[in-house]
Every structure is written in structure tokens, then in C-alpha cells.
Amino acid sequence: MNLNLYPERMKPSLAYRIGYGEDAHRLAAGLPLVLGGVAIPHAEQGAVAHSDGDAVLHAVADALLSGLALGDIGQYFPDTAAEWKGLDSRLILARALELVRERGYQPVNVALVVTLDRPRLGPLRAEIARTVAGLLGLPETEVGVSFKTSEGLAPEHVQTRVTVLLERADA
């Protein structure tokens, strides 16, 4: 029996790997809201978190790790550890990126979705794309940024979902 169902050029290839990450934080008045490394002006509520609560960077970091089955950021930065209190999420992302690079891979493009009722983030789309891209060493055209409301279902939450494509550096 011939089990080689794919022509050579269609064979699934480990040169590319997909990663997916999610994050959510509760929102409360009087706290800063940081998303994708950008401080959101005029936010009435900010993230309740052990770190700086940047739900975009947390999901991007998890997406990077998941693409290579490296677990999730909680394993590297336990949210019970006093030393990670108030942690700048850019450091979390930098560590995840380092782990990916150590294994010979690099991100190609990122698609991220932020679900948040208020404030409107549309005016910050380019800045968030530019900032996330900069942290990943990518051109900003490789970071797609979408916003959704929860239609009032979760007005006190921010939710993020991120896919990333990884490419083996020698591919």
C-alpha cells in the first residue's frame, strides 16, 4: 500500500510552524491599560494583573512558545513569584523570542485580535502594530491588528487572541 499520499512539494514541512496564544485580564478603575506595549490614553479601566497586565504581549509570547511546543509563559514567569511583580511584559516577550531563536526559528508574521468594549482602539492600530513588530524584529506590515467589542458581554474584561507563523531560520 502506498502511504505517500502527498506529492513531494505538498508534504507538511517543519520549516514552518504555527503558534497560537490567548490571554484575558479583568479590568478595574484606576489602573493603567497597556496593550502591545502601548499605554492606552483615556482608559477608564486598566488590567488587574501580577505583571503590567499587557494582554497582547502575553498572548504573543504564548503564541511564540506554543509554535515550538515550549509550554506557556506561566512556566517561565510564575505569577506567584514576588520577583515578577509589576514585570514589564516586554521582558516576557523578549524571553519567549529568545527561546524560539535558540531553536533556530524566527517569527514571520503575526495576527492579533483584541476584544475590548472601551475605549475604541482604532486610532492606535498603527502604533500597536509598530510596537509589537519592533519587539519581534519584524516590519510593521507583518503584524495584523484587529479589534472587536464584546457587544457588552464582557465590559470589564480584555481578551486577546494571537496567531504567529514561525519559520526555520535556514529554511
Q: How far apart are the first and last CA of the chain?
A: 31
Rounded alpha-carbon distances, angstroms, from residue 63 to 10, 123, 150 = 25, 25, 22
41 binds ligand C5P (CB under 6 A): no
Least separation in angstroms between residue 54's CB and Mg ion is: 7
Closest CA relative to residue 145, chosen from 122, 167, 165, 116: 122
Least separation in angstroms between residue 8's CB and ligand C5P is: 42
Least separation in angstroms between residue 89's CB and ligand C5P is: 19
44 binds ligand C5P (CB under 6 A): no
149 binds ligand C5P (CB under 6 A): yes
Contact 35, 114 (CB under 8 A): yes
Q: In terms of DSSP bridges, do strands 143-148 and 105-115 run parallel, antiparallel, or are they unpaired?
A: parallel
122 binds ligand C5P (CB under 6 A): yes
How many residues bind ligand C5P (CB under 6 A)? The answer is 7
Q: How far is CA 113 from the centre of its chain?
A: 9
Least separation in angstroms between residue 145's CB and ligand C5P is: 9
Categorise residue 133: left if φ over 0, alpha if ψ from -120 to 50, beta otherwise. alpha
Residue 13 partner contact from ligand C5P, Mg ion, none using kind-dependent CB cut-offs of 5 to 8 Å: none
Closest residue to ligand C5P, judged by C-beta, is: 122
Residues found near ligand C5P in the complex (CB under 6 A): 116, 120-122, 147-149
